[in-house]
Amino acid sequence: MQLIDSHCHLDFAVFDPQREALLQQWRRLGVCHMVVPAIGEVNWAKVMALAEVHQGISYSLGVHPWYVGDQSSNAMANLRQHLAARPAGLVAVGECGLDLRSQVPQAGQIEWFEAQIGMAIEHQLPLIVHSVRANDTVAKMLRRAKPPCGGVIHAFSGSLQQAQAFWQLGFRLGVGGVISYERANKTREALRAMPLEALVLETDAPDMPLQGQQGAINTPAALLPLVTLLAELRDEPIMDVAKVLCDSTRQLFQLADPI
C-alpha cells in the first residue's frame, strides 16, 4: 500500500535532528511521496533544497496568510520569478489563502491570495489553499478567477455543501487529523458523502495530530491510521481507498510514478 502526504512541513526545525532516519522510517510504512508547502519567503530556499537532496519530495512556493505582513517589499516579484523558472520539484502555489479568525492579522490577506491565484493561473499550477472560517469567501474568489489546475483545500473543515462547491471548482479536500475527532461530525459526514476522488490525504506535520496525541509531534507516519479511519468512515476496503487517494494526488500534482 502506497500513501502520499499532500501537506507536510518537513522543513520545520523540529525534524532537523533526525530527518533522514525519519524519512527511511516513513518509507517503510508505505509513505512514497510528500509535498512540502512553503509558508513564506523565509523558507522557500529550504523547501527547494529538500527536494534536491531527497527522493520522493515535492514542494510548493507561496505565502501563508498568517505571514503576509512579514514579507519583504520584493517578495511578490521574487515569488513570480521562482514560479516562472519552474524548478524541478515545484508542483503547486501555496500555502496561501485566508484565515478570518480574529486573532490573525487581516491586512494584506486578500491581496496576497488574489495575487497567488493569478500566479497559479499564469504558470498552470494547482493551489494549496489555507481556508479557516473563510470557506464561502474562498469559494467565491476561486469561482471568479477559475484557476484551471484546481488544487487542494488544506485541512478541509466544513459542510457537505461547501465540499461540493469546492469539488465543482476543481479543488480536492485535504483529509487530516480532524477526522479523528468526534466533535468534527459535520466534516466527517461531508467526507463520507463526497466522491473518493475528491479527497487527498495530508498530515500537516508537525501540527494537527490525531485525537489522543495532542501535544505530540505529528509526522507522516499518521497517514496509515488516517487512511484506516477514512476507510472505516466510508465503509470501503482500505486498499481501494489508499489506491484512489494515491492516484488522485499524483494526478493533481503531476507527480512521477514511483521507481
Which pTM does this prediction carry?
0.97
- Please tell me the predicted confidence (pLDDT) of residue 259: 43
- Calculate what percentage of the chain has a pLDDT beyond 90: 97
Please name the helix (run of DSSP H) or strand (run of DSSP E) that holds residue 119, with its range, or none: helix 109-122
For 245, the grid coordinates are 487517494
**CATH superfamily ID and name for 3-253:** Metal-dependent hydrolases (3.20.20.140)
> Which amino acid is it at 80?
R
Task: Report helix, strand and coil shares of the chain as percent, to nearest 5.
Answer: 50, 15, 30
How far CA 60 is from CA of 52, 116, 163, 192, in Å, comes to 13, 12, 23, 28
The pLDDT tens digits for 199-245 are: 999 999 999 999 989 999 999 999 999 999 999 999 999 999 999 99
3-class SS string, 44-63: HHHHHHHHHHCCCEEEEECC
**Residue stretches of the annotated binding site for a divalent metal cation:** 7, 9, 95, 130, 154, 204
Q: Is 204 left (phi over 0), alpha (psi -120 to 50) or beta?
A: left
Kindly report, residue by residue over 193-208, the tens digit of the pLDDT. Answer: 999 999 999 999 999 9
* Distance of alpha carbon 185 from alpha carbon 221, whole angstroms: 24
The candidate with the shortest Cα–Cα distance to 184, out of 152, 153, 160, 158, is: 158
Residue 257 has pLDDT above 90, yes or no: no
Mean pLDDT of the chain, nearest integer: 96
Q: Where are the beta strands (DSSP E) in the chain?
A: 3-5, 31-37, 57-61, 90-99, 127-132, 151-154, 171-175, 199-201
Q: Where residue 90 falls among pLDDT bands split at 50, 70, 90?
A: very high
Please report the pLDDT score of residue 258 as a whole number: 57
Partners of 172 in beta bridges: 152
Nearest to 79 by CA among 100, 58, 64: 64
Dump pLDDT digits (tens) for 5-14. Answer: 999 999 999 9
Q: What angle do CA 10, 137, 60 make, to 5 degrees?
A: 25
Residue 175 has pLDDT above 70, yes or no: yes
Is residue 2 very low, low, confident or very high in pLDDT (cuts 50, 70, 90)? very high
Task: Identify the band that residue 181 occupies on the pLDDT scale cut at 50, 70 and 90.
Answer: very high
Please say whether the beta carbons of 38 and 65 come within 8 A: no
Residue 95 preceded by cis peptide, ω within 30:
yes
Binding-site residues sit at 7, 9, 95, 130, 154, 204
Across residues 112-138, what is the average pLDDT?
98
Sheet with strand 151-154: strands edge to edge: 3-5, 31-37, 57-61, 90-99, 127-132, 151-154, 171-175, 199-201
Average pLDDT over residues 26-54: 97
Q: Is the peptide bond before 206 cis (omega within 30 degrees of 0)?
A: yes
Cα–Cα distance, 202 to 177 (Å, whole number)? 8
